[in-house]
A = this chain, B = another copy of it.
Amino acid sequence: MPRPALAETDISAQLREAIARGQFSPNERLVEAELAERYSVNRAHIRTALAVLDRDGLVVRLPNRGARVRAISDAEAMEIAETRLAIETMVARQAALRGDAKGRASLRRIEKDMRRAVTQSDAALYSQCNAALHRELQRMAGNATANRILNTLKSHLMRLQYRGILLPGRPRASLAEHAAIVKAVCAGDADAAERAMRKHLTSFTRLLKQAIEATRMGGF
């Protein structure tokens, strides 16, 4: 059986998840003693977790003044989306080149579920499929480095969604984009896969930009 994860690693992950889900507001103070009690660990673990999250950019810490949930500016949200685009287009390419038959079958199945979600107007299902599709592409690409980075970036972007700044997207419009990605990856056409992913994420980025300009948020 696999050795259990270190408690510290575990706490980092839990806190990361909680912040990504918007359970803490931007700039909210993260008091070590409180968190230690809430997660039933001692302060040392919380301290370590906060240091890790600081490195991830989810938290800022000021000497002697503790940690806060990092507020992300409009400009930075765009940066994150652009960086994600750069990496994920590479992932799409690699998935097309290195993907296995099992992965391709998964993609097709996910696409089918997406179509069903659209016809049934099931936004939750679509969102779930969307996540599954991107996850499967990452798995197929088999680029652990890229995956780690992408997951961190996504936890930032997830905050937008949970804070209602970014809507779950428009299934009908993005379905075609997703289908194009699946088609290209399954055909093993790296260039087409990259193009399709770029197109998809460019429209995501455009959406984000609009949302930002609409809400004129001061950080999330």
Question: Do residues B145 and A80 form an inter-chain contact, with CB atoms below 8 A?
Answer: yes
Name A87's contact: one of B8, B44, B56, B83 (CB within 8 Å): B83
For the complex, give the distance between the alpha carbons of A57 and B146 in Å.
12
For the complex, give the distance between the alpha carbons of A87 and B47 in Å.
31
Question: Do residues B3 and A63 form an inter-chain contact, with CB atoms below 8 A?
Answer: yes
Name A153's contact: one of B8, B57, B145 (CB within 8 Å): B145
Name A52's contact: one of B4, B51, B76, B149 (CB within 8 Å): B51
Name A79's contact: one of B54, B56, B143 (CB within 8 Å): B143
Chain B residues near A6 (CB, 8 Å)? 51, 61, 63
Q: Assuming A52-B52, A55-B52, is B144 touching A76 (CB within 8 A)?
A: yes
Q: Assuming A55-B12, A55-B56, is B145 touching A62 (CB within 8 A)?
A: no
Chain B residues near A94 (CB, 8 Å)? 82
Q: Which of A31-67 contact B (CB under 8 A)?
A: 44, 47-49, 51-52, 54-57, 61-63
Judge whether A148 is part of the interface by a CB distance below 8 angstroms. yes
- A193 to chain B: closest CB distance in Å? 14
Chain B residues near A130 (CB, 8 Å)? none
Chain B residues near A48 (CB, 8 Å)? 47-48, 51
Chain B residues near A12 (CB, 8 Å)? 51, 55
Judge whether A90 is part of the interface by a CB distance below 8 angstroms. yes
Chain B residues near A87 (CB, 8 Å)? 83, 86-87
- Residue pairs across A and B with Cβ atoms less than 8 A apart, 19 shown, are A3-B62, A4-B63, A8-B51, A9-B61, A12-B51, A12-B55, A47-B48, A52-B55, A57-B148, A79-B143, A79-B146, A83-B87, A83-B90, A83-B143, A86-B86, A86-B87, A86-B89, A86-B146, A149-B149
